[in-house]
Structure 1
Amino acid sequence: MKKVIYTALLMTGLSIGTFAKTVNDEGKEAKNNAPAKVKYSSELADAENVVWSSSPRFKKATFVKDGVQTTAFYNRLNEYVATTQLVEITTLSPAAIKALIKNYPGYQMGEIIKYTGTDEAYFVNLRNDKENFLVKISSDSTIGYFKDLK
Structure 2
Amino acid sequence: MKKVIYTALLMTGLSVGSFAKTVNDEGKEAKNNAPAKVKYSSELADAENVVWSSSARFKKATFVKDGVQMTAFYNRVNEYVATTQLIEVTQLPATAIKSLIKHYPGYQMGEIIKYTGNNEAYFVNLRNEKENFLVKITDDANIGYFKDLK
TM-score > 0.5 by shorter chain: yes
Aligned residues: 126
Q: Which runs of 5+ in 2 are unaligned?
A: 1-24
Is the 8 Å Cα contact of residues 18 and 33 (structure 1) preserved in structure 2? no
Cα distance, 1:82 vs structure 2: 0.1
* Cα distance in 1 between the residues matched to 2:39 and 2:51: 11
Cα distance, 1:17 vs structure 2: 6.3
* Cα distance in 1 between the residues matched to 2:86 and 2:102: 23
Moved over 6 A (4+): 16-19
Is the 8 Å Cα contact of residues 47 and 63 (structure 1) preserved in structure 2? yes
Task: Give the aligned residue type for 1:50.
Answer: V
Cα distance, 1:18 vs structure 2: 10
Task: Give the aligned residue type for 1:128.
Answer: N
Choose 1 or 2 for highest CA Rg. Answer: 1
Deviation string 1:86-138 (CA, Å, 9 cap, x unpaired) is: 11111111111011011011111001100000000010000111111110010
Cα distance 1:18–1:123, how it changes in 2: closer, same or farther (>3 A)?
closer
* Cα distance in 2 between the residues matched to 1:45 and 1:18: 25
Matching residue of 2:64: 64
SS at 1:38 equivalent? coil
Q: TM-score, normalised by structure 1?
A: 0.78
Structure having the larger proportion of residues in strand: 1
* Cα distance in 2 between the residues matched to 1:118 and 1:109: 26
Q: TM-score, normalised by structure 2?
A: 0.78
* Cα distance in 1 between the residues matched to 2:122 and 2:145: 12
* Cα distance in 1 between the residues matched to 2:39 and 2:67: 20
Deviation string 1:51-84 (CA, Å, 9 cap, x unpaired) is: 1111111111100001000000011111100000
Aligned identity (percent) is 81
* Cα distance in 2 between the residues matched to 1:38 and 1:44: 11
* Cα distance in 1 between the residues matched to 2:28 and 2:134: 37
